[in-house]
Amino acid sequence: MRARARVVARADGRGGTRLTELRGESPLLLRSTAAEGGVATVYVVGGAAGPLGGDDLLLEVEVGPGAALRVGSVAASVALPGRPGAAASRMRVHAVVHDGGTLHWVPEQLVAAAGCDHVAESRVELAAGARLTWRDELICGRYGESPGDAVVRTSVDHGGRPLLRQSTAVGPSAPGWAGPAVLGGAPATGSLLVVGPDVPPGPPRPRGEPGGLPVPRARPVTGDGGAVAWLALAGGPAALLTATAADAHTLRERLTPA
């Protein structure tokens, strides 16, 4: 199955955001909800099971100057195997955020079911004055099963220069993925990237202190096999929080800005 979807957000001139384009194809169906605080909200609604082996899906997002957009999903995405001999399933996201625009990309988790062969690729282009919150979460298999093959790649440019190049691979085709050099046996992993002119270059501050955007704060790890790491990125005013955890709920807690 091939499907294309696109959402474009523009400032409405009154301090809010309007959606000038909103179109999709099953299984990439887009639904808008009421804006809050000048931020337009769009949810991706799965119109069919999957992605299945052989699916080729593309979502394009554009946020204009002064506009603010939040993109979420109504449920987790479960990558499933296709018929024997099918190509890998592929989900691509291409996002462009213009100067003064803000994008919050906060979908639910991607679950790599047993036998799947899936690639999730995200490419984000940020103007120098753009703001971004970008969350990726990967769950290695459904309850009681080992994952299939899944690759999550994220590429972010800021002001025309590379900011982040990140790739995570799990499953039978990724030797050592569960070992101490990668996930350390944890079945859930993810990252939260925050970019914006107000992100401090040093260690993050708690919410409520001056500084604009909420910035992730590393939380204590409680010995469940997970870990948390915070990194200031050299290519721009940005902070990256990466975490592993024993389950999806704990992972989400660790990737929630403090």
Mean pLDDT by 10 residues, the chain (258 residues): 95 94 93 90 83 92 97 93 86 97 96 96 96 96 92 96 96 92 92 85 43 46 70 86 93 82
CA dihedral sign of residues 140, 108, 258, 204: positive
Residue 229 is predicted with a pLDDT of 87
Closest CA to 75 of 19, 139, 20: 139
**Per DSSP, what are the bridge partners of residue 232?**
239
Pairing of strands 89-97, 56-63: parallel
Residue 165 is predicted with a pLDDT of 96
Residue 212 is predicted with a pLDDT of 40
Residue 192 is predicted with a pLDDT of 94
Residue 34 is predicted with a pLDDT of 86
CA distance 159 to 52: 36
- The per-residue b/e assignment along 150-187, b for 16 or more CB within 10 angstroms, e otherwise, is bbbbbbbbbeeeebbeeebbbbeeeeebbeeebbeebb
Residue 204 is predicted with a pLDDT of 47
Residue 146 is predicted with a pLDDT of 92
Residue with tokens 């400032």: 11
Residue 258 is predicted with a pLDDT of 55
Residue 80 is predicted with a pLDDT of 92
Q: Are 250 and 226 in contact (CB under 8 A)?
A: yes
CA distance 126 to 129: 8
248 contacts: CB under 8 Å, gap ≥ 6 = 76, 109, 137, 139, 188
